[in-house]
Amino acid sequence: MYSAIHLVQRGKNRAGLTMLTGFVNSFSSVSRPERLAGKVAVITGGASGIGEATAKEFIRNGAKVIIADVQDDLGHTVAAELGPGSAYTRCDVTDEAQIAATVDLAVARHGHLDILYNNAGITSSSVGHLASLDLADFDRVMAVNARAVLAGIKHAARVMAPRRTGSILCTASVAGMMGGEMPHAYNVSKAAVIGVVRSAAGELARHGVRLNAISPLGIATPLAMRGFGDMLAWADAERVRRLIEEDMNELEGATLEAEDIARAAVYLASDEAKYVTGHNLVVDGGFTVGKRLNVAHA
């Protein structure tokens, strides 16, 4: 190895550079083991946004992934891009039977289920004051963002508990911690996710199953762009994007991206987090301990 480096440094032997580069690349791949090798995951809302980014990160880390969504074209496209370790299935999370069927599909196809990521979510169209709250919209948001999470936990635990192992993740939000800035239905639904995790984690721990939440700050995903766009009807898409990526940002020199949440999910799903359960992992660059966003004057 020394002779290769010596020749490269003197610029006399290109073969030495090739040899050294190959050695370094080989060493790098060995020193970065796949953190989810052999694990099987289901990701709801996996066809776009945080779900898509997480599916890609899970595959990159050695997992097999079933993308569950109602966006059929996007879901099939993402699964095809990710290769043979990924598959798409249609799953309307407001229908418990479809959640159960998706869990059963993972077990039938791969023999077990190690990770369920309850990520599917929607925004609220009722963006006014409490006096004008549309309870039908509230029920719709709660059905997807909260009730479906509980159903996902129920059916993942059904197949994980007998094996005494498994990791269940749920996308919550800083909106569920702070309230105030987002529509009431969305705030309440995300607070419910955090509450469900706290309520069920102890019971599942006694069966070897871990349950955690991830609470991101806003990310300019299609879902967030629609949600903030509804709230800020006066703002064009670029202004909404700047609000999410810049005005809400407390951490100098960094912008929150879907991939950051995906990497947090990899950690919580992996054996590195073997003793972490009942936790709400806040990924917000300090927003919840810094400032509140006054969208009325953004």
Catalytic residues: 186
Burial of 197 by CB count in 10 Å (0-12 exposed, 13-18 middle, 19+ buried)? buried
The H or E element containing residue 105 is helix 96-110
> Which residues, in sequence order, are CB contacts of 199 under 8 Å at separation 6+?
none
**Dihedral angle of Cα 177, 180, 181, 183, to the nearest 10 degrees:** 100
Q: Which residue has the tokens 């159960």?
A: 100
C-alpha distances (whole Å) from 281 to each of 81, 82, 248, 263 are: 29, 27, 18, 12
CA atoms within 13 A on the CB side of 9: 6
> Measuring CA to CA, which residue among 115, 205, 197 is closest to residue 150?
197
Which token pair is 161? 């508990």
| Distance (Å, whole) CA 135 – CA 113 | 36
